[in-house]
Amino acid sequence: MRLFGKTVSALFVWMVFTAGIGGAAEKIPVFVSIVPQEFFVQQIGKDRVDVQAMVRPGASPATYEPKPRQVAALTQAEVYFAAGVPFEAAWLQKIAAANPNMKVVHTEQGIEKIPMATHPHGEPEDHAKETESEPHDHDH
């Protein structure tokens, strides 16, 4: 998380510097992969950035495909923050090709991912579905 903070902070300084050169107070168009990133970038960039998340709430980063409207908007973006989510494996090169001038920042670099807990039979844990009449036999 420390690397992510440094990356975002460094990029924010760059955005402030380049926004000052242009003279106008236009918002810098920025894309992120997932909504939690959108929150962080918006909090850091404040009113200087226009942040859009590719994967909206309710959609899965594992099966996501960009909408045509998003691909069109990406041609105007100055920065894309990648997070290492599954859809990026198939789409990040295409996203970058849509706008060769867009800077792609890999915020996942140097971050060790923690595996999700699973049951012995490979399914994610979901104790909310268990009932007293149908307890699931497991050791935790």
Q: How far apart are CA 42 and CA 28, in angstroms?
A: 11
Which pLDDT value is given to residue 98?
86
Q: What are the structure tokens assigned to 57, written together?
A: 């709430």
> Strand locations in the chain, DSSP E?
28-34, 49-55, 79-82, 103-106
Structure confidence by residue, pLDDT tens digits, 120-139: 665 555 555 555 555 555 55
Residue from 20, 68, 90 nearest 48 by CA = 20
What is the model's pTM? 0.66
Q: How far apart are CA 18 and CA 94, in angstroms?
A: 26
Q: How far apart are CA 97 and CA 100, in angstroms?
A: 5
CA distances to 6, 84, 86 from 112, rounded to whole Å, are 16, 11, 16
Structure confidence by residue, pLDDT tens digits, 78-100: 999 999 999 999 899 988 998 99
In the structure, what pLDDT confidence band is assigned to residue 9 with cuts at 50, 70 and 90? low
Structure confidence by residue, pLDDT tens digits, 31-85: 999 999 999 999 999 999 999 999 999 999 999 999 999 989 999 999 999 999 9
